[in-house]
A and B are shown apart, each in its own frame.
Chain A
Amino acid sequence: NLSGEDISHKRILVFQNKSPSPLECHQNSLKVPFSHLKNLPLCKRPSRLIPQTPDRILDAPDLMDDYYLNLVDWNSNNILAVALSEKVYLWYADTGEVKQLLSLEGNAYVCSLAWTPDGVYLAVGTSTTVVQLWDCSAMKRLRILDGHTSRVCSLSWNEHILSSGSRSGHIVHHDVRQQLHAVAVVQAHSQEVCGLKWSPDGSYLASGGNDNVLNIWPNISAQLQRSSNQPLHTFRQHQAAVKALAWCPWQQNLLASGGGTADRCIRFWNCSSGTCLNSVDTKSQVCSLLWSKTYKEIVSAHGYANNELIVWKYPTMNKVAELTGHTSRVLHLTMSPDGSTVLSAGADETLRFWKCFVPDPAKKKAESKAVPSVLQCVLR
């Protein structure tokens, strides 16, 4: 065997008193990551009806089946960006039109997408280690931002600062208005940075890595002072990769994080005090998290072994809905600008639109009717 060496002439000793036996009826709880849980009862009295089937389903051929990437983003002008291997498409939700924004050459593929808050520019992280910056109204590439040594799988904007995370574990902060754009580099993690999110007010940057670590970094001016390269907080409670990160829109400094296969927990953090407020075992790999803007709820997307979305009431963490239909992992979530629709992107190469946060009917606006088949025709 690997450890070599004949042990037939060695002395092997063992303690006489044996370790206690588990109860005979003990059923290995580790079955959870190997089992698909179906037909589970929700909490008895859901607060409202949430449609159990998607509003629409779009094909997304060649959507990469890779936990560590971040391949969809929906901007404030109601344009959805989707990366399918080497290509990026824009889907205009108001008209149903689809445009191909770009196609990378060679064996390169897109690893991450992030819109600026005003929805005008799109940052595209690639496997070729650079980030491309695109003006999507002019359909024109504005800049190429280098600085990384491996693929760029996570991106997050803070005004004119674009923060990027890579497989090397580094975070590079780019000031896109400056010629020398790489204004700071941080060795943030010992493995791939798969989650990266600025808090809405720019006070904190949350980074999650394949090293199971969640770091909370200070605001950008503090980070630009090179002497301060330490996170404000380092959280190591997750037992698996931390990709899913989401800042609460209604409660300042509240961050939700999700752990991978060996962890399966959603944790909630007060990022000013550095405390873990709550933890819930979802029983499945957590791939993505989104807070509702309309309700005190959070939605999680799951992979191994339950390919579903779950809507939770916060802070009780009672299940409000379980949304099934994806036949492979649900890798990414993004939300329409009006906050009513959650889009899930699955490894089954489908995009599903869930109207799970529709406001009260009295406040409901007229729905725009997109034509899904147009997207299907172009994407197929």
Chain B
Amino acid sequence: MELLDESKENIQPLRRGRNISTLNTALQAQTDAEIHHQLMKEREEFEILVRSYAGDDPLQPWYEYVLWVEQNFPKHGREGNLKTLLENCLLQFKDNEQYSQDVRYIDLWTRYMSFADDPLGMYKQIHAKGIGAQCAIFYQCWAEEFEKANDMKRADQIYIEGLKRNAQPKDELVAAHTNFQVRVARSILGQNPI
């Protein structure tokens, strides 16, 4: 774990965690030209794959490519160029009915929100297009954004909208909404959190 220690401030934490052997290789690639070259070759293969894919699920190679970049460019800076990659993918499929309720596609949008200047505005726009309208995770992420902005009223409305639209899986949305309401009540009452 020495290399990890030395580089700890140059590793962006990920919600889904990092593969430790990939991380070690990625850190070595920053100083070892041979390993870096191997990484670039691998990246080029992904670039070719997303362009030349002829199967019936064109989103999947993009999704794998995004996950690969996240793991292999731990600084999350210019080198990985994740923002552009996400933009290219999201734009390509934004009018594709096949993917408007696809969990992978919604997941990519939520990752993109970290790069957006106005995530709340963006959630509103893509919701207006019907993207994610049936997905519980979409409403949870949107409501969470309002909660972070301390707009509890709007966060509550988002949960209600998702429930009204019968977004799935419903039990997850119900649980998230219930927990949200309890948190708000507790913060109003000023109760000891534990």
Write the residues of chain A forming the contact surface with B, with a CB cutoff of 8 angstroms: 22-27, 33-41, 65-68, 107, 167, 191-192, 194, 210, 240-241, 243, 260-262, 285, 303-305, 324, 327-329, 347-349
Q: Would A24 and B179 count as touching, CB distance under 8 A?
A: yes
Given contacts A329-B77, A347-B78, contact A68 B9 (CB under 8 A): yes
Q: Would B77 and A240 count as touching, CB distance under 8 A?
A: no
Chain B hits for A347, CB < 8 A: 75, 77-78
Q: Would B78 and A260 count as touching, CB distance under 8 A?
A: no
15 CB contacts below 8 A, A to B, read A22-B194, A24-B182, A38-B117, A38-B120, A38-B149, A40-B150, A65-B75, A261-B13, A262-B8, A304-B13, A305-B114, A328-B78, A329-B77, A347-B77, A348-B77
Q: Which of A36, A68, A167, A262 has the most CB of B within 10 A?
A: A36
Given contacts A41-B150, A328-B76, A347-B78, contact A33 B182 (CB under 8 A): no
Q: Would A67 and B10 count as touching, CB distance under 8 A?
A: yes
Chain A nearest Cβ from B169, distance in angstroms: 18
B15, B78, B117, B119: the one within 8 Å of A348 (CB) = B78
6 additional contacts (CB under 8 A) given A35-B148, A65-B75, A243-B9: A23-B182, A25-B186, A36-B114, A38-B149, A41-B150, A262-B8
* Contact size range, B: 35 or more
B9, B13, B115, B186: the one within 8 Å of A241 (CB) = B9
Top 8 closest pairs, chain A to chain B, by CB? A25-B182, A67-B9, A65-B77, A347-B77, A39-B149, A25-B179, A36-B114, A260-B9
The answer for the CA separation of A22 and B192 in the assembled complex, in Å, is 12
Closest B residue to A285 by CB, please name it: B9
Chain A hits for B79, CB < 8 A: 65
Query: B153-194: contact bitstring with A at CB < 8 Å (1 yes, 0 no)?
Result: 000000000000000000000000011101100100000011
Q: Report whether over half of chain A's contact residues are helix, strand or loop; otherwise say mixed.
A: loop
The answer for the CA separation of A220 and B68 in the assembled complex, in Å, is 50
Write the residues of chain B forming the contact surface with A, with a CB cutoff of 8 angstroms: 5-6, 8-15, 33, 75-79, 83, 113-120, 145, 148-151, 178-180, 182-183, 186, 193-194
The answer for the CA separation of A39 and B149 in the assembled complex, in Å, is 6
The answer for the CA separation of A32 and B63 in the assembled complex, in Å, is 25
Chain A nearest Cβ from B120, distance in angstroms: 6
The answer for the CA separation of A290 and B12 in the assembled complex, in Å, is 24
Q: Would A39 and B120 count as touching, CB distance under 8 A?
A: yes
Chain B hits for A304, CB < 8 A: 12-13, 76
A22, A305, A324: the one within 8 Å of B117 (CB) = A324
Q: Which of A26, A243, A260 has the most CB of B within 10 A?
A: A26
Chain B nearest Cβ from A12, distance in angstroms: 26
Chain B hits for A22, CB < 8 A: 194
A34, A107, A260, A349: the one within 8 Å of B8 (CB) = A260
Q: Would B6 and A210 count as touching, CB distance under 8 A?
A: yes
Q: Would A34 and B6 count as touching, CB distance under 8 A?
A: no
B9, B13, B149, B193: the one within 8 Å of A40 (CB) = B149
The answer for the CA separation of A22 and B138 in the assembled complex, in Å, is 26
Given contacts A26-B193, A27-B179, A191-B6, contact A37 B13 (CB under 8 A): no
Q: Would B5 and A65 count as touching, CB distance under 8 A?
A: no
Given contacts A191-B6, A240-B9, A285-B9, contact A34 B78 (CB under 8 A): no
